[in-house]
Amino acid sequence: MAKGKQGPLIIRPITEADYDALYQCAIESGHGFTSLPVDEELLRRRISRAQRAFVASSIKQPGEEGYLFVMEDTSDGSIAGVSGIEAAVGLSEAFYHYHLGKVVHHSPKHGVYNALETLTLCNDYTGVSELCTLFLREKYRKGRNGRALSKFRLLFMTEFKKRFSTNVFAEMRGVSDENGRSPFWDWLERHFFTMDFPRADYLTGIGDKTFVAELMPRFPIYVNMLDKAAQEVVGKVHPNTLPALKLLQSEGLRFRNYVDIFDGGPTVEGELSQLRTVRNSCLRTVKTGVPQDPENYLLCNQQLENFRACQGNVSVQDDEVIVDVETAAALQVSNGDQIRIAPL
């Protein structure tokens, strides 16, 4: 864990008291971060929805729950970042993607063969769990903080696996400029819409998605019909999102030809049980003390409403994990309790 002036960074369920910090994260996240629109009503709804999910103890299968967490700097109580999970998307509102496919135009008689890429509107991720809303404030983008803020979700999903689907996906922010203009959306706007990218992105973020079904082209789009700027960003990520993409790829999530309908950014997916952090995680019994030859691990308790996670330097001995008193207190565990751990 972090030492010196910065206290331990603890990941915990969001509360109403975190609203101001969440709003600031929404401002700092910038254009294209659909799940964090600068909208007070929506952000407060997300907090309330998350709180309901964390106290719902009888859930046996994934539903419309949304889990939202914050990373707290315990030295001063400030919020370092935010991270979320959607248990199952598209159950009551359609969840759209484009599938990048191919069609072949072939005339043997005339010696013509053309394999052309197409974009087809689909709802293929309906019912699948989504990793979402990952944002780390600039001050804390150091060490392994970003890695911890992303990967802990896999420990949470493993610990409470009945609440999530067997597969998981994550949308990566696509290419847009400093003013929020997306080359991909610019083409769609010219031909099918009369609203700019920030407006469309905002409407989706606040849950107003009816315009997608009403205005989006219903037939496959030939990629070679897009202008060159739009073609070049299909399946590409925003430069600020590249580290997050590489992290998820290191877990085993892969691009399977699904892209965002607004900015063309890629979606990555995988089977939860086969992701690296999940496969390498295990339960160990807590023993407080001074770790000998410690290694850096991701740690979480087994509580739902009082979930806590952090990174810590610990030593693993047989069925025990040796943690210092500070780390045990941060996780709200004592000697004899079990925690889930995974190498970080």
User: What 3-state class would DSSP assign to 296?
Assistant: strand
Report residue 45 CA to chain centroid gap.
18
Residue 289's pLDDT is 93
Q: Are the CB atoms for 243 and 135 separated by under 8 Å? A: no
| Lowest mean pLDDT segment, chosen from 7-16, 276-285, 297-306 | 7-16
343, containing H or E segment: strand 338-343
Annotated catalytic sites, by residue? 238
Give the residue, 234 or 214, on which the prediction is more confident: 234
| Beta-bridge partners for 207 | none
Helices 242-251 and 145-159: angle between axes, nearest 10 degrees: 40
Residue 189's pLDDT is 84
Average pLDDT over the chain reads 90
CA angle 74/33/243 to nearest 5° reads 70
- pLDDT exceeding 70 applies to what percent of the chain? 93
Confidence of residue 215 (pLDDT cuts 50, 70, 90): confident
Non-local CB neighbours of 86 within 8 Å, separated by 6+ positions: 65, 66, 67, 129, 130, 132
Average pLDDT over residues 296-315: 96
User: What 3-state class would DSSP assign to 331?
Assistant: helix
Residue 4's pLDDT is 41
- pLDDT exceeding 90 applies to what percent of the chain? 71
| Of the candidates 40, 7, 5, 8, the residue with the CA atom closest to the CA atom of residue 24 | 40
Q: Which CATH architecture best describes the domain 281-344?
A: Beta Barrel (2.40)
Q: What are the structural domain ranges in the chain? A: 9-105+116-280, 281-344
Average pLDDT over residues 141-149: 93
Non-local CB neighbours of 303 within 8 Å, separated by 6+ positions: 332
| Lowest mean pLDDT segment, chosen from 82-91, 184-193, 269-278 | 184-193
| Of the candidates 196, 200, 191, 202, the residue with the CA atom closest to the CA atom of residue 181 | 196
Q: What is the CATH number of domain 9-105+116-280?
A: 3.40.630.30
Confidence of residue 7 (pLDDT cuts 50, 70, 90): low
Helices and strands in the chain: count of H runs, count of E runs: 10, 15
Residue 208's pLDDT is 66
Report residue 35 CA to chain centroid gap.
10
Q: Are the CB atoms for 184 and 264 separated by under 8 Å? A: yes
Residue 5's pLDDT is 45
Residue 1's pLDDT is 41
| Lowest mean pLDDT segment, chosen from 20-34, 64-78, 282-296 | 20-34
Average pLDDT over residues 268-292: 96
Q: Are the CB atoms for 278 and 270 separated by under 8 Å? A: no
Residue 112's pLDDT is 87
What is the residue-wise DSSP string for 76-108? TTEEEEEEEEESSSSSSS---EEEEEEEEEEEG
Residues 162-195 have pLDDT tens digits of: 999 999 999 998 998 887 788 998 898 888 877 7
- Alpha carbon distances (Å) from 120 to 89, 99, 222, 261, 267: 19, 5, 9, 10, 15
Structure tokens at 220: 């496959």
| Lowest mean pLDDT segment, chosen from 33-42, 133-142, 230-239, 324-333 | 33-42
Residue 221's pLDDT is 92
Confidence of residue 245 (pLDDT cuts 50, 70, 90): very high
- Alpha carbon distances (Å) from 199 to 34, 60, 189, 238: 11, 37, 11, 18
73 pLDDT higher than 90: yes
Confidence of residue 6 (pLDDT cuts 50, 70, 90): low
Residue 182's pLDDT is 87
Average pLDDT over residues 322-332: 95
Q: Which amino acid is at 77?
A: G
Q: Which amino acid is at 244?
A: A
Give the residue, 209 or 136, on which the prediction is more confident: 136
Instruction: Give φ, ψ of 262 to 5 degrees.
Output: -105, -45
Q: Are the CB atoms for 314 and 297 separated by under 8 Å? A: yes
